Chain A
Amino acid sequence: MPELDRRDFLKLVGVGAGAAAAAGCSDPVEKLIPYVVQPDIITPGIPVYYASTCRECPAGCGLHVKTREGRPIKLEGNPEHPVNKGSLCARGQAGLGRTYHPDRFPGPMLRGSDGKLAPISWKDATELVATKLRGGAGGAYLLGSDPGPTASGVLDKWVAAVGAGGRIVYEPFAPEALVEAAQLVFGNASEPVFDLSKADLVVSFANDFLETWVSPVEHARQLAEARDISAHPEGGARFVYFGPRLSMTASSSDEWIPARPGSEGILAMALARVVLENGGGSASERALLAGVLDGFDAERAAARTGVDAKTIERVGKALAKAKAPIALPPAGGFASNRARAATAAVLVLNQLTGAVGKTLALLPLPSDGKRASYKELLALVDSMKSGKVSVLLVHGADPAYSMPQTTDFADALTKVPFVVSFASSTDETSALAHLILPEHTPLESWGDAQPRAGVRSVLQPAVRPLQDTQALIDALLDIGRAVSPEVAAKLPTGSFRTLLEAAWSDADFRQVLQRGGVFAEKSGPASASLSPGVAKLGVADPVLEGEGDYVLLALPSPLLYDGRGANLPWLQEIPDPVTKIVWQSWLEVSHETAQKLGLVAGDVVVIETGGQRRAEVPVVPRGGIRNDVVALAVGQGHTQGLYASRELERGVNDPQGKRLYPLPENAGRQVARGVNVISLLAAATDEAGGRAWLTTKAKLTKAGRSERVAFTGANDNMRERMLGEAITLSDLVAGKSVVDPEMLGLAASVKERLQDAARRGEEMTPPAGVPAEALTRNGELIAFNPADDAKPGSPYRWGMSIDLDRCTGCSACVAACYLENNVPIVGEEQSIRGRIMSWLRLERYVTDGDIDYVGGRPPHSTLERLGHVGVRHLPMLCQHCGSAPCEPVCPVFATYHNPEGLNGMVYNRCIGTRYCSNNCPYKVRRFNYFDYSLETWPEPMKLMLNPDVTVRCQGVMEKCTYCAQRVEFARQPAKNEKRLIRDGEVTPACAQSCPTQAITFGNLKDADSQVAKKASDPKRGYHALHVLNTRPATTYLAKVVRGPVEV
């Protein structure tokens, strides 16, 4: 032991005393340290944006990563990117949280003999894997998602160099059947790309293209474009949805036809037949198809599909007549074991109606990369079971969660002696892995993606890795080089970054990084011809396994997708667009089914699908689902992850309903959150080996207990209250207005004010430039002009217009609001109590119903009926009323009217009387029940907070500010240049993210602004709860009811 001299002793005493004194203080001292050398590109307070690519689903949307002082704080769409054109869905935005996730592995971890993970160095870990590979790389397999073309190429080289057994690309909802069907129908390998923007009739065969299919943001934008009422006064594209359930996508349709699940192919054939009978297709096509279409006359098809023959005839004729129709094949949860045939039938229908070349492009398959193949994966599982796999390297996928139980993947995984997971945070597969080599998150990574031929998109890191992680490719290259010098020689040299740059050498890489990629859209052939193979198209009813009265639909969740979003708290807390349930699993059943089984919402049923496959799940009865169908969303049921699973400590019931809390032995134990429907599914494949999801029948029995369902929307009956309004197309064409002139009379006081002004001889004029017609509707003076509600002399009156005809209910705006404004997450238990904090919520109403005075606990009534679409999605946020009821009741002026018409909220002044919320008819104010700054953002999530927005403290109210921080950010440059803020310079987060651009924001005093033009829509414009005369700055534009397709 070294000698302790006097000096050291005194030093230690001094340090010890200092530490003790410091520890005695209540708060640790934190220091703000300025940059010693300030990086060139960083100016404190000014965001820096990096172009990148979203990896939350295979769509490949372009990103602008907003960073502040070196930290990514918000993801926005890249306006130049052809896929999403500046918008971004909820899943994409929530992806920000992956980088800051508390579940991330701090570095490489090795599982010890006790089953616990212990840190290991990268060097040792690399050597360990290399050793395993040295023993015989033939048994080594790579399994994972598509990492992008360049990485894919490197991986192929790696597999070849180390002599690994192979590489399998796995994507649970990969549209494999689409490519296979295109091969079958058109005779060549191509990728059908659907463009709805130019369509005049969209027919979806149980295809939820606004939620999860292929490229939802793009499809939503295209649909909105095709139906834009200002460009198409006749209503634009009509949209028919065939499918057993009123999904989010179906709720945007004009006509929902509740067809039997799995009958889409038959329907497509029957429609094709009607199209042919009505002059569609060429003579040769007619001859080719004569035999195939034989059995599909409308009458017989009606019996098999549950759609009546007249409807088939009508839609078929409409298809034949349409100039640019488009038919979308069954996808996602509707891929059955006949998926290829069904998809092929839909492609045939597209061919016959002349869609190819107009709305359907047959693009060449991307040359780089490898497509997902379920067939190969099943083969791999077989080899794993037989012990032929010695090393399995899993990246970017969670097969232990997302593979059907009947494939015994988890079991097979235990037969693999060495499993390496590259997951950056904990998931079901990494929980079974022996070694974890955490990958960078996409925001820390280099990479690229190819959404479709011609569109190449790049990923660049926007932040240094927060944990001790490595890029997948770099880690694998290191491992390969460590195996042996011979292997090393076969591997490419350099890091992945240099390899990527080399792969992009055909373009100016700097410019690529600036723009986010190279976007050279390709168009397919102008026409195509049917392959003779079509004559043998075997369209038939799918085979469903299991005994039971109900077809089990396992549908990808619009928010959690295939389950990968489940550990992102925002996606858990944003309500499901259809049922408005958060944090849970639920089984959708029809009212009739519920009645038959004696169930009400929240009652638990045992769902059995054959074998040992059973689960218990609460039911939610709906009118919008067929009686022979039950639906359970994919995505929940994780047993790993802070948010994806349930922690027992918090106090929950186990699946048998036994109260597990507060038994001490359960503290910290994670159990499944909800039900993983995949574990109920029979494993099945389609004709070409693609994964089938529509495979199983279910038996339901009452469990005799109930659970509290976390509903966040109480009632879908609007009771004619001027909330989510709609106007029929015929009324619109006839020049009628959504606002009832009688209703205007109720707001007479304001009208009188204006008239008084006229009587006094003062000019009854709106602020300069507002056209006179903006003040009147149908010759009647409108109640007020929102532009009046700013301080006289102020050049601005901020306002918003929300076009309900464009809103699909996708909830991207909600996610944007959460992330932009540091809105806290409250968790399942608090959500059940109704304490969600979202500043912007999507209300879902199903037309006007009869006034039901009483109601009960939610969901009281559901006005959904089979075959009836009347859904209005109503984004509800602070209306920034000119005469705001919240303002006069605040005793301390914590909420006040600012000179620019905004309804301000001063958190520091608020004492929390909550009167403002009581008096807000829109109920958009939220209260900080607890100190969420301590609870919502566990380390290191605090780093992702937006520094421009205050994190609210316990006991104060908060609400939408119209993103006042963005207004302020635009103000300074305008001031410097001595001009006003220009139209379009300020875009609130919600408007920025909206895939359909339903939200417009701007200055109402500027008559030329987009928002002023939209808000003065004389026919569709209205204000929510108009009769209360709150003078909102938010103008809604009524949804247009186009009605069923007619011929």
Chain B
Amino acid sequence: MTPPPAASVADMIRPVPLVADSQVNRDILAVMDRPTMPYWLLLGFLVVFVHAAGAVWVYQVYKGLGIAGYAHPIFWGVYIVTFVFWVGIAHAGTLISAILYLFRSKWRNAINRSAEAMTVFAVLTAAQFLGIHVGRIWKSYFILPYPNQRGLWVNFKSPLVWDTFAISTYGTISALFLFVGLIPDFAIARDRSTGWRKVLYTALALGWEGKSKQWKAWNRTVLHLSGLCTPLVLSVHSVVSWDFAMSIVPTWHATIFAPYFVAGAIFSGFAMVLTMMIPVRRIFGLEAYITEYHFDNMGKFILLTSLIVGYSYVMEFFIAWYSGNEFEQTAWWYRVFGPYWISTWTMLICNTMIPQLLWFKRVRTHVPTLFAVSIFVNIGMWFERYVIIVIGLSHEYDPAVWGIYTPRPAELMILAGSFAFFAMFFVIFIKLFPVIAVSEMKELAIHRKSHAHEGAH
């Protein structure tokens, strides 16, 4: 048997779950077993919460955006903050699936499925906010370049149009990537299930029989999709960052924004993967598949991106000072010492100081601490967007109209609703689809076995 191309020395020395194929099937697919009462309660709570937030949104559409906290001149607030937050979350999935795939980092296998699912759901959640934040959602299709008699066209100079394309492209590709990856697993699930699930998985498996020809085609597809996704990881958040960088708002108009946002997105995305996977691993007993080794690697990633983000913060302050531009300087001082100082310091502490704990391997492998760090990073990254967007707009060029923005209950409800929305999809997902890629786990096991037969070590 030809060793799979991914086999490398590094792979061989890395711990791989020592379980039999059938055990893999059983363990992983056990997650998909008949839901228990707590599951139903959780799902029920989430669904109700999403509807409550939806009701608030409907009221907002009826009454007007005045029920949110917008006040001249701060016209972007919690909704855009949350939009950017979720787009950021969506980055880890593709990074793990596509870029790490291309780099043949096999350790990603245990987490890539959930990360990919997260990506799709996060993009979905983010996309909601594009609609929620506009003044006239019933006219929001104007932003699409559809042919019409009146010859109206969209303004391709506007970063918001780029944004629309970036998000929809990213959503499409990441959904496709998730689905393609799931096909062999659907087949396993099909073979083990009965009733309506059987029908569902049969349809989704697209006639997968596990033939080598199919494996070959599948491998190539995944490879090509990875290639397609890789630039998107960098481009989507770059485009989102240009929503800000293309403007003339002091603290927004900066060339560092694209890499800074991408690093921040990966940073928050990895944190969110940890936040989601740690409870799932615990609840469904997947300790054998998601091991300390994975946490160690993820911790390193978070540490790296934290350093990049921290460097960006420092550079922004430095450039504000170095430029001698009074608008920038004033805005930056205001950011740190103005009335919004709590947000800024929350951001700085959560994003640059707390992740420094990850220098220690004991922290990286201590699951509860890691979980706590991931929560801090999530909070910090939400505040980062809040700081950039809200504080930037509060303190622009004309001092007579500097303003203060305070989020209103409606916005906070919809913000909370977005978490419920995201979680709801994830919770449904783990019962319907294998949360760890069965086929890829097996592939790892095969490697291990083949190497063991050679007995070379």
Contact = CB atoms under 8 A, between A and B. Distances in A.
Contacts of B334: 853-855
Nearest to B397: A921
Given A715-B402, A955-B136, A918 B76 contact: yes
A1039 interface: no
B65 A718 contact: no
Nearest to B403: A834
B401 A919 contact: no
A930 B66 contact: yes
A891 B64 contact: no
Of A890, A909, A911, A954, which is in contact with the most chain B CB atoms at under 10 Å from its CB?
A911
A937 interface: no
B136 A912 contact: yes
Interface residues of chain A: helix, strand, loop or mixed (majority): loop
Given A854-B337, A954-B64, A717 B399 contact: yes
Interface stretch (B51-59, B116-124, B138-146, B359-367): B138-146
A714 B402 contact: yes
A15 B329 CA distance: 73
B247 A927 contact: no
Contacts of B396: 921, 923
A929 B66 contact: yes
A929 B65 contact: yes
Nearest to A832: B71
A910 interface: yes
B446 interface: no
A929 B70 contact: yes
Q: How large is the interface on B (under 10, 10 to 19, 20 to 34, 35 or more residues)?
A: 35 or more
Contacts of A957: 135
A892 B142 contact: yes
Interface string A1004-1047: 00000000000000000000010010000000000000000000
A922 interface: yes
A5 B77 CA distance: 68
Interface stretch (B158-166, B267-275, B417-425): B158-166
Contacts of A918: 73, 75-76, 247, 249, 393
A621 to B, nearest CB: 18
Nearest to A714: B402
Contacts of A718: 399
Contacts of A888: 155, 157-158, 246
A844 interface: yes
A872 to B, nearest CB: 11
B75 A927 contact: yes
B333 interface: yes
Contacts of B152: 892-893, 909
B65 A911 contact: no
Nearest to A1025: B397
A199 B27 CA distance: 98
B72 A836 contact: yes
Interface stretch (A305-313, A347-355, A719-727): A719-727
A891 B143 CA distance: 6
A856 interface: yes
A786 B140 CA distance: 34
Contacts of B71: 833-835
Interface in A888-903: 888-893
Contact of B160 (A833, A835, A913, A956): A913
B72 A892 contact: no
Given A888-B158, A930-B63, A719 B326 contact: yes
Contact of B159 (A723, A885, A889, A929): A889
A889 B75 CA distance: 14
A923 B398 contact: yes
Interface string B400-419: 11111000000000000000
B338 interface: yes
Interface string B224-250: 000000000000000000010011110
Given A714-B399, A834-B403, A910 B136 contact: yes
A689 interface: no
A810 B350 CA distance: 50
B202 interface: no
Contact of A922 (B76, B158, B397): B397
Of B72, B76, B337, which is in contact with the most chain A CB atoms at under 10 Å from its CB?
B72
Contacts of B398: 721, 723, 843, 876, 921-923, 1025
A474 B9 CA distance: 108
Interface string B323-356: 0001101100110011100000000000000000
A897 to B, nearest CB: 12
Given A715-B400, A955-B65, A891 B75 contact: no
Nearest to B392: A918
Of A720, A834, A845, A856, which is in contact with the most chain B CB atoms at under 10 Å from its CB?
A834
B153 interface: yes
A486 interface: no
Given A834-B72, A857-B339, A892 B143 contact: yes
A702 interface: no
Interface string B102-126: 0000000000000000000000000
A917 B76 CA distance: 10
Of B133, B395, B400, which is in contact with the most chain A CB atoms at under 10 Å from its CB?
B400
B154 interface: yes
B400 A889 contact: no
B47 interface: no
Interface string A835-869: 11000010111000001011111100000000000
Nearest to B250: A921
Contacts of B70: 835, 914, 927, 929
B402 A721 contact: no
Contact of B136 (A713, A889, A956): A956
A927 B397 contact: no
Contact of A876 (B72, B338, B400, B402): B400
A957 B164 CA distance: 20
Interface string A975-989: 000000000000000
Contacts of A956: 135-136
Contact of B64 (A843, A909, A910, A928): A928
A730 interface: no
A855 B330 CA distance: 10
Contacts of B404: 834, 857
B402 A855 contact: yes
A915 interface: yes
B134 interface: yes
Contacts of A851: 326, 329-330
Nearest to B249: A918
A823 to B, nearest CB: 13
Contacts of B403: 714, 834
Contacts of B248: 885, 919, 921, 1028
A861 to B, nearest CB: 10
Contacts of A953: 136
A827 B66 CA distance: 13
Nearest to B401: A923
B338 A855 contact: yes
Interface in A715-774: 715-721, 723
A939 interface: no
A717 B63 CA distance: 37
B72 A923 contact: yes
Given A911-B142, A912-B134, A913-B134, A714 B400 contact: yes
Given A835-B70, A913-B135, A953-B136, 18 more contacts: A718-B399, A721-B399, A834-B71, A841-B401, A876-B398, A888-B246, A891-B160, A891-B161, A891-B164, A893-B152, A911-B140, A912-B65, A915-B75, A917-B72, A919-B249, A927-B70, A928-B135, A954-B136
25 contacts: A714-B403, A718-B399, A721-B397, A834-B404, A836-B72, A843-B398, A853-B337, A855-B402, A856-B339, A889-B159, A889-B160, A890-B160, A892-B143, A893-B152, A911-B139, A917-B75, A918-B76, A921-B397, A926-B72, A928-B135, A929-B65, A929-B66, A929-B70, A931-B64, A955-B134
Which 9 residue pairs spanning A and B have beta carbons closest together?
Answer: A912-B135, A955-B135, A929-B66, A853-B333, A914-B75, A843-B400, A834-B71, A715-B399, A891-B160
